[in-house]
Amino acid sequence: MSKKAKEQNKKWERRTNRVRAKISGTGECPRLSVFRSNVFTYAQLIDDASGKTLVHASTKELSASIRKKPKVEQAHALGELVAEKATGLGIKKSVFDRGGRQYHGRVRAVAEGARAKGLTI
């Protein structure tokens, strides 16, 4: 790994730690954590009090027709999928953890998709 890449990773870790210091999820209001890689986007609802993942989903789970669309549209569908799974468990509220990333693009689309299906963030 190059020196520049190492410094970028350190900055990303610092932003992530700074966000997680302010946000924590409970059983009633879990943390909606979003991670995006180059290919897929992942989202999970986490209860930090008990240290358990309540709901998880990724763009790998979406139908083939949705996976042919642009990544931002896939992320919106992912947010809707997470919200549907959450409402199935009786979860209506959550706090949003952008994972040290900018609230833009795929990260924002996941939040908007979850809000569209009734999850309060």
Q: Name the one residue in this structure whose structure tokens are 């931002």.
A: 72
* Contact indicator for 89, 45 with CB cutoff of 8 Å: no
24-58 pLDDT tens trace: 888 889 999 999 999 999 999 999 999 999 999 99
Looking at residue 2, what DSSP letter applies? -
In a domain, 85, yes or no: yes
pLDDT average, residue stretch 88-101: 92
Q: What is the CATH number of the domain that holds 94?
A: 3.30.420.100
Looking at the domain assignment, is residue 121 inside a domain?
Answer: no
Indicate whether 107 belongs to any domain: yes
DSSP state letter for 101: S
> What is the span of the domain harbouring residue 63?
3-116
| Cβ atoms of 118 and 87 closer than 8 Å | yes
Nearest one of 79, 88, 89 to 117, comparing CA atoms: 79
Q: pLDDT band at residue 95, thresholds of 50, 70 and 90? A: very high
Radius of gyration of the chain (CA): 15
- Residue 40 forms part of a structural domain: yes
pLDDT level of residue 1 (50, 70, 90 thresholds): confident
Report residue 38 as tokens.
């180059």
pLDDT beyond 90 at 113? yes
Q: Give just the sign of the alpha carbon dihedral 30, 36, 41, 42.
A: negative
Whether 70 maps to a domain, the answer reads yes
Confidence bin at 119 (pLDDT 50/70/90): very high
- pTM score, whole prediction: 0.89
Q: Tell me the residue ranges of DSSP E strands in 7-77.
A: 31-36, 41-47, 52-58
- Over residues 68-83, mean pLDDT: 96
Q: What is the mean pLDDT of the chain?
A: 93
Residue 22 has pLDDT above 90, yes or no: no
Q: What is the domain count for the chain?
A: 1
Domain membership of residue 49 (yes or no) is: yes
The two structure tokens encoding residue 42? 């992942």
Please tell me the predicted confidence (pLDDT) of residue 97.
Answer: 92
Q: Does a structural domain hold residue 87?
A: yes
